[in-house]
Each structure stands twice: as structure tokens, then as C-alpha cells.
Amino acid sequence: MDNDLFTGNTLAAQLFAEVIIPLALPQNYTWAIPAHLQENVQPGSRVEVQLKNKKYAGIIKTLHRQKPAAFAPKEVLNILDEAPLLFPIQLQFWKWMADYYMCSEGEVMNAAVPANLKLSSESILIWNDEHGLDFSDLNGEEFLVAEALELKKELRLSEVQQILDAAHVYPIIKRLIDKNVCYVWEELKAKYKPKTETYIILHPVYHNEDKLADLMNNWSKGPKQLELLLAYLYLIKSEGEVTQPVLLKKSGASAAQLKGLIDKQVLIAEKREIGRIATLPKNVYIDFELSQAQQTAYDAIQMAFMQKPVCLLHGVTASGKTQIYIRLIEQNLLEGKQVLYMLPEIALTTQIIRRLQKHFGGNIAIYHSKFNPNERVEIWNKVKSGEAKIVLGARSALLLPFVNIGLIIVDEEHDPSYKQQDPAPRYHARDSAVYLAALFNAKVLLGSATPSIESYNNAQTAKYSLVSLNERFGEAELPAIQLIDLKKIETADRKKIMLSPQLKEAIQSSLNQKKQVILFQNRRGYSPYMICNVCGWIPQCRNCDVTLTFHKAKNKLACHYCGTTYPVINTCAACGSHHFIEKNFGTEKIEEHIAETFPTSRVSRMDYDSVKGKYDHDNLIKLFEQQKIDILVGTQMVVKGLDFEHVNLVGILDADGILNFTDFRVNERAYQLMEQVSGRAGRKDNTGKVLIQVSNMQHPVLQFVQQHNYQHLYEFEIQNRRHFFYPPYSRLIHIIFRHKENHIAEEAAHLLQQGLQPAFAANITGPAQPVVHRVRNLFLWEMLIKLPKDTAIIQQCKTQIQQQIIILQSNKRYRGVDIIPDIDPV
């Protein structure tokens, strides 16, 4: 500037940093970097800064020399990292996410960065009991804090500031965390318990063959134990490793007998953690060949990636998609690229982890929100250094500091849990993955047996490429699906209708064959509803098209969405009959009823109430795998990508409940659920059978499910879905919130008049989601979802939108924001 010309010294101009603070601030603030700290600063480094009267560890977004005119920046207090915490590409990604999902970069940072790396004065440090009392590697100040921590077990960061000379607290804390003396408390996060599996090993003494022979020859008592030991020795020879459940199952011995051997110190039980960063060897080991169909799909994907960066793999259940993934991962590893394998959190079970670890050993890092802070930092660093080649994680893994991603796999692509609903950023991990991959020039593979309509539409309109895999692996066929008409079932007690004779018979036959059964009941079953027993029509809300809930006490029907109540309906709107019955049964009731009907079978229930921790879920799955349970009654939880070898019957108890789900994507969700549930039957052979109990036999989705025909569902949805949500609307709301001028409304109306393409997203995944979230109960929301392609109504909408704009303008947060074009992720 002029001053510089005058002094003739541009280099002396001060250095400023735009810093991202983990808060929902309207914009990023700027701090000055004092001369003595200028040597090592880079974008991506953390800096300690003061904002108001609090201190935060922020991340430098940019460095520049333009002195802000409007305010006098404060100075950065400290630089916390010599090397940046992440790469420019992540900063770019954060910026996009903040723009696209309308939140602050600070909020993205909050979601991305583990607690241990984002200290603030409010942070509470927790003493790490595992560290012990060896303080020899600490310097004077570190020692002071460590001692205080050991004594009090936890300290507020502000208290640490009192102990020390306040000027440079953060670097000391950072070193203490690095040295594992303490960690940062994260509230409300359930503590992650590492999953363990008990391995059985032979006591080292008996590795000596003579000693072992000696032991067995002089076996005094407990013949069963000797038998067990022999079974163990046999297994260890054939398998190399033996886990407790496998041993007990194959030997038929009891846990007490095993305990006897352990007490005698012949065998040792060793708990090993799985799911954390394994210390397994870092080699790649692949011991299978792709089937013909898989190989064809694999080649097609390779070809597709040459044309387009995103490919949708539509593979029927049990077609062996995972094996294709494994091949693709292997190929990326050979090219020295990182791979991100995303799964919905609930599907991140030991089953899939074990499977990948078998092939890629220590190259894999697992990441999800239930890890403790130290482990998360550990993984963060391994991903950043490139040591972790494969990351297997839930949606939050997308925000790890990858160096060079080559491939992102989004498995179970249709799963709604990829969408973060509550804390900002309200991002969709599948869509964000597409953008992130573009930044790395990487590929994205979306895999599902039941793609979301959005993705399928993207494939149909050639935005993504599409590869289909219609054959089940190992010559297994898709299970036969049989509908059972509940209306035809004569029963004295209407409530007992939950189990038709056909299903009862099928269950009995499965039990006789020593096979397992899954009975599926949607959670919706908890709220009672009325259904016409002649045609299967269900009363719906006039405003919301949502199934009405029956309130017995008040003898009224109510909409749980808008709150409207209706008198009980006696005449069917579809067939005119007066024959209504009440349906009301949840998984608990079913479990009870099943246990009564099949007294000799072992029945278990899997739903949100019965499995609270992740641990329970895994355990239940394990029990089922080991055939310790014959009949599993469950909600959606039983669906998530699990393989159960011995299941040959799946029963859907109340398909009407699914087909009338309180959701704007009923048909799609219903199809997905039924197809996924059916997929659990007979995965390994051709004995699979699916029985669907339903009153509304005519529902088209049932036919598509029976034929396993996704294409038909898709076409049906395009033609018949009543609640279209068009991308221009999403764009429109985005615009409304981005701009303060009224003329924008005209642009919006213009957009509405242009060719409208269905995006099928009443459950919006695009940028406007947080806004729609806010206005969903307002008139605008109602207008938008019910808007037919009618110009008159568009005019009306325009007026409404203008009113809306006035309301929204008063919201400080969206005032005076610059015009930012909508960025399409592809």
C-alpha cells in the first residue's frame, strides 16, 4: 500500500492469518502473526488465538499481508504445530461443505477434528491412568501440570493456565497429550469399548512335543477335557488360530470344560482387540478368484472409471460385491493410493472388519464416532502420514486428512444414515464423497442392492456410470417371495393375526431342518393403525398423506406429522366397506407370541431397545451366527449387510406397516427394506424362502419386490410419486437464503418454470437441507413438496416466497451474504 511505498519496505508488512475457529461464527476472523512466530506458519497449522475472552486452537486457512481496514487484528498467541494438521485439499473440502450445506467452516472443523486437537479454555483435561508415575521424560513445566493432573485426575484448561505462566499453556498441553499423560474430555460421547474376541492358545510349556505327549499320556481325570484338548490341537493345525466360540462349537464342549483346561494352565484364553488399528502384518493377501459374473462387473467398473469418476454398482444381495471391492482396493494399493471404504455405522460390524483384515492386515484403519479421543488422533495421524492405506469407516471418516485418495467406496449407498441430521454440518456423506474424490481426481464406487432413487437417476441420466451384477455368488438364486393375504385369514382374535398358518408352518419346517429364521417387524408397528380388511386401504392425513395413528383411549385417529385429529373412519374410501380392523403389534409382543408358539426354539429380539450399546449388537449377531438363536425377531437392524449362513426363512410380518411408512419416500424405503430383508434368506444355497404377510395385495411395490425388479420401482416412482422435490426448488431455497434482494424471488420463479426434473428427494440431500429443516412446518415447505407442474400455482408460490424472504431477511445469519453459485458435486 501507500505506506509501503513510502517506507520502501514491502517485506516488512505484517503477516495475517484467516483462522477457522471451531464455532458457528458468521465468518472467519483474522489474526496477526507476530514477527517471532512467522518462521514456521503454514495454512493448516493450528494456532492459539484469543477470541472475546476465550482461547481457542484454530486452524489457519490462509496467510496474507493485507492489513484489514475495518478492525485491528489481535496477535496470534502461539503456533501449535510445526507441520500442518491437514492439507490444503481438506481446507478446500471444508470450504465446499460449509458453502454447500450452509454452515460455518468452524462447524465442519468441529465434525472433522478429534477433540484432542481442538483445545479451548473450556476443555477439560483428563489424567490418563495408563501413563503411570514415570515423569522422567517431562520438563519442569510439563511435570508441574502432570503432577497436578495425577492428583486431581482432571483439570480445566483455565486452571492449568493458573498453574503455569499463562503465556504458553497450549504447547505444553500439546506435549502432554503427545506423551499420553492426559487426554481431552469429550462430553456426551459414549465411551468406546474395544471389541474383543477371545483366542485360545496353548500354554508355551506344551509347545514342546514331549511335554505335550507326557501330559496327554498321564491324563488323570476329566476325559471331556482331554477330548476338548484334542479338538483344539486339531483345529490349531488346520486353522492356525482358534477363537473360543469356534472351539466350543466344533468340539461340542461346554465353557466349563474349557475353563477347566485354562485353570490347569494347559490352555490360555487371550482377549484380543479387533477393530482398532491392528498391529497385523502389512501385507496384502488375496486368496479368492472372482466368479465369472464378478469379473465381468469388475472389468466394467474399470472401464467406467475411464469415462466417469463415479460408478454405481447395482448388485443384488449376496452377489459378492465385497469381493469386487477387495480387488479394487488391492489395485489402488498397488498404485500407492489410499482407499476410503465407507459403511453406515451400524453395518461396521466385526464381520466386515474381520473380512477385510484377513486380506489387508495392518493396512486398515477403522474409524467411527465411538472411538476415544486418543485413538482418533492416532488414526488421524496415520491417515495423514499415509501409513493407513485403507480407512474403513462411517461417514465421519470422510473428513480425515487423506494424502492421496484413489478410490472411495460407499457401500450400502442408499442408507439414510449417510445423511447427518442434527449437528451442522448436515452433510450427506455419499454426495460429499463425490466432491472430495473430484478434488483428488479419484474414483467413487457407490454400491447397493437397492440404490437410492437419486443415485439410480444419476446413473440413468448418465451422470454416473452403472454396472449391474444380477447374479448371486456361487450359483445361489434370489429367494422366492410369497405373499400371504392377511384378509383371507379367519381368526377369532384379530390381534393374533400376526402369524398366519402359512408362516407358522414355514417356521416349523425351518426349525425341523435346523435352519434359522428371521422375522422382520417394522418399528412402525408400535403405533396402532386402522386398516380396511376388505381391500387393505389405510386412512391417511389429508394434509400430509401420512398414515393416521389410532388412539384407542380417545377413540380418534391422529396425524403424528401435523397433529390433526379425525374421528374414527367407518367407511373405506377405496372400496366402501365398513370392515376395519386395528393393527398394533411391536417386536416385543411378537417375540412373546413366537416364544409361546414355538416353545422349544430359542427366540431373540433385536431392536433399538434390546441392543443399547454397540457391544450388544455385535454379541447378538455372534450368537445368531453360531446358531445359538433359532428365531431372530427384529427391526431394520437385522438388515444391515450381514451374512447369516443358516438362515433359510425370512418373514415380513406386516408389510402394510412398511408400505404406509410415515415418510415421503415410502415406496423406495419399503422396497429397500423388503429387498434387503429378503436378501438375508438362503445366501449360500437355494433353500431361501421369503414370506410376506400383507393385506393390501395390490400394492405395486410388492410386485417389484417379488420380481426383485428395481428398474420397475424406479420407473414407477418417476411416474407416480406425488411429492416431487425438484432440484430447482432446492436451488431456489438456497438462493433465498443466500441473498437479501427481492428480485431473487423472480429468478426463483423463473427457475421453477424451466424444465423440472424429479430429484425424488422430499428427504432433501442437497444444499437446501438445513433450510428446509427450518421451514418444513411452514407454508413454504408444504407448497414445495406438493407443487404440481402448474404455472398458476407457481405464481402463488412466488408470492409466498416473497413473504418468506421478508421473514428470512430478518435472520441475521443470512443477511448480506455474497452471491455464491450453487456448486454441483459432479
Partner DNA sequence: AGCACGCCGACT
Partner DNA sequence: GTCGGCGTGCTC
At closest approach, how far in Å is the CB of 735 from DNA?
22
Binding to DNA (CB under 7 A) within 278-337 occurs at none
- If the CB atoms of residues 16 and 371 are measured against DNA, the closer one turns out to be 16
- If the CB atoms of residues 51 and 403 are measured against DNA, the closer one turns out to be 51
> What's at 20, amino acid-wise?
I
Q: Is 6 in the site for DNA (CB under 7 A)?
A: no
At closest approach, how far in Å is the CB of 71 from DNA?
5
Stretch that binds DNA, among 70-78, 718-726, 732-740, 757-765 (CB under 7 A): 70-78
At closest approach, how far in Å is the CB of 29 from DNA?
3
- If the CB atoms of residues 51 and 697 are measured against DNA, the closer one turns out to be 51
Binding to DNA (CB under 7 A) within 151-210 occurs at none
Binding to DNA (CB under 7 A) within 251-280 occurs at none
Q: Which residue has the cell 482418533?
A: 376
| Contact call for residues 431 and 395 (beta carbons, < 8 A) | no
Q: Is 126 in the site for DNA (CB under 7 A)?
A: no
Q: Is 122 in the site for DNA (CB under 7 A)?
A: yes
- If the CB atoms of residues 43 and 362 are measured against DNA, the closer one turns out to be 43
Site track for DNA across 21-60, x = CB under 7 A? --xxxx--xxx-----------------xxxxxx------
Tell me whether residue 182 is annotated as binding: no
At closest approach, how far in Å is the CB of 27 from DNA?
7
| Contact call for residues 270 and 199 (beta carbons, < 8 A) | yes
- If the CB atoms of residues 95 and 786 are measured against DNA, the closer one turns out to be 95
> What's at 716, amino acid-wise?
F
Return d(Cα 226, Cα 261) in angstroms, integer. Answer: 9
Residue 567 gets the label, from left (phi > 0), alpha (psi -120 to 50) or beta, of beta
Q: Which residues pair with 583 in a beta bridge?
A: 529
Return d(Cα 113, Cα 101) in angstroms, integer. Answer: 18
- If the CB atoms of residues 134 and 187 are measured against DNA, the closer one turns out to be 187
- If the CB atoms of residues 122 and 214 are measured against DNA, the closer one turns out to be 122
Task: Give the residue, chosen from 8, 71, 287, 422, that forms a contact with DNA under the rule CB under 7 A.
Answer: 71
Task: Pinpoint the alpha helices (H) of 530-601.
Answer: 587-597
* Burial zone of 403 (CB within 10 Å; 0-12 exposed, 13-18 middle, 19+ buried): middle
Kindly write down the DSSP assignment for every residue of 509-578, as one continuous string.
Answer: HHHHTT-EEEEE--GGGGS-EEEETTT----B-TTT--BPEEETTTTEEE-TTT--EEEPP-S-TTT---
| SS3 assignment, position 182 | strand
Return d(Cα 316, Cα 477) in angstroms, integer. Answer: 10
Q: Which residues pair with 517 in a beta bridge?
A: 631, 649
At closest approach, how far in Å is the CB of 771 from DNA?
16
At closest approach, how far in Å is the CB of 386 from DNA?
34
Compute the Cα dihedral for 436, 439, 440, 445 and give only its sign: positive
| Contact call for residues 807 and 815 (beta carbons, < 8 A) | no
Return d(Cα 30, Cα 132) in angstroms, integer. Answer: 41
Return d(Cα 170, Cα 157) in angstroms, integer. Answer: 9
At closest approach, how far in Å is the CB of 30 from DNA?
4
Per-residue cell: 478? 434370489
Give CA 438 to chain center in angstroms.
21
C-alpha angle with apex 739: 733 to 745, nearest 5 degrees? Answer: 60
Tell me whether residue 532 is annotated as binding: yes
At closest approach, how far in Å is the CB of 61 from DNA?
12
At closest approach, how far in Å is the CB of 102 from DNA?
13
Task: Pinpoint the alpha helices (H) of 28-156.
Answer: 88-100, 105-112, 140-152
- If the CB atoms of residues 168 and 813 are measured against DNA, the closer one turns out to be 813
Return d(Cα 556, Cα 444) in angstroms, integer. Answer: 50
Instruction: Give the binding-site size for DNA (rule: CB under 7 A).
Output: 20
- If the CB atoms of residues 577 and 809 are measured against DNA, the closer one turns out to be 809
Q: What is the DSSP-derived secondary structure letter of residue 534?
A: T
Q: Is 68 in the site for DNA (CB under 7 A)?
A: yes
> What's at 734, amino acid-wise?
H
- If the CB atoms of residues 119 and 312 are measured against DNA, the closer one turns out to be 119
Task: Give the residue, chosen from 74, 168, 264, 722, that forms a contact with DNA under the rule CB under 7 A.
Answer: 74
Site track for DNA across 211-240, x = CB under 7 A? ------------------------------
Q: Which residue has the cell 411408512?
A: 661
- If residue 445 lies in a helix (H) or strand (E), which one and from where to where? strand 443-448
- If the CB atoms of residues 120 and 549 are measured against DNA, the closer one turns out to be 120
Q: Is 812 in the site for DNA (CB under 7 A)?
A: yes
- If the CB atoms of residues 49 and 639 are measured against DNA, the closer one turns out to be 49
Q: Is 589 in the site for DNA (CB under 7 A)?
A: no
| Contact call for residues 770 and 825 (beta carbons, < 8 A) | no
Q: Is 438 in the site for DNA (CB under 7 A)?
A: no
Tell me whether residue 797 is annotated as binding: no
- If the CB atoms of residues 56 and 580 are measured against DNA, the closer one turns out to be 56
Binding to DNA (CB under 7 A) within 547-586 occurs at none
Q: Which residues pair with 443 in a beta bridge?
A: 407
At closest approach, how far in Å is the CB of 80 from DNA?
17
Binding to DNA (CB under 7 A) within 770-809 occurs at none
Task: Give the residue, chosen from 62, 63, 67, 73, that forms a contact with DNA under the rule CB under 7 A.
Answer: 73
Bond preceding residue 425 cis, omega within 30 of 0: yes
Stretch that binds DNA, among 65-73, 145-153, 294-302, 730-738 (CB under 7 A): 65-73
Task: Pinpoint the alpha helices (H) of 480-545.
Answer: 501-512
- If the CB atoms of residues 30 and 549 are measured against DNA, the closer one turns out to be 30
| Biggest CA-to-CA distance, the chain | 101
Return d(Cα 403, Cα 400) in angstroms, integer. Answer: 9
At closest approach, how far in Å is the CB of 765 from DNA?
23
Pick from 363, 461, 453: which is nearest to 665 by CA? 453
Task: Give the residue, chosen from 11, 69, 70, 133, that forms a contact with DNA under the rule CB under 7 A.
Answer: 70
At closest approach, how far in Å is the CB of 424 from DNA?
8
Pick from 410, 430, 286: which is nearest to 339 by CA? 410
At closest approach, how far in Å is the CB of 20 from DNA?
12
| SS3 assignment, position 374 | helix
Pick from 109, 87, 119, 41: which is nearest to 401 by CA? 87
- If the CB atoms of residues 11 and 70 are measured against DNA, the closer one turns out to be 70
Kindly write down the DSSP assignment for every residue of 46-74, as one continuous string.
Answer: EEEEEETTEEEEEEEEEEE----SSS-PP
Pick from 647, 650, 652, 603: which is nearest to 629 by CA? 603
At closest approach, how far in Å is the CB of 740 from DNA?
14
Compute the Cα dihedral for 579, 544, 418, 57 and give only its sign: negative
C-alpha angle with apex 656: 652 to 659, nearest 5 degrees? Answer: 100
At closest approach, how far in Å is the CB of 67 from DNA?
11
Stretch that binds DNA, among 64-72, 136-144, 232-240, 574-582 (CB under 7 A): 64-72
Tell me whether residue 544 is annotated as binding: yes
Known binding positions: 532, 535, 541, 544, 559, 562, 572, 575
Binding site for DNA (CB under 7 A): 23-26, 29-31, 49-54, 68, 70-71, 73-74, 122, 812
Known binding positions for Zn(2+): 532, 535, 541, 544, 559, 562, 572, 575
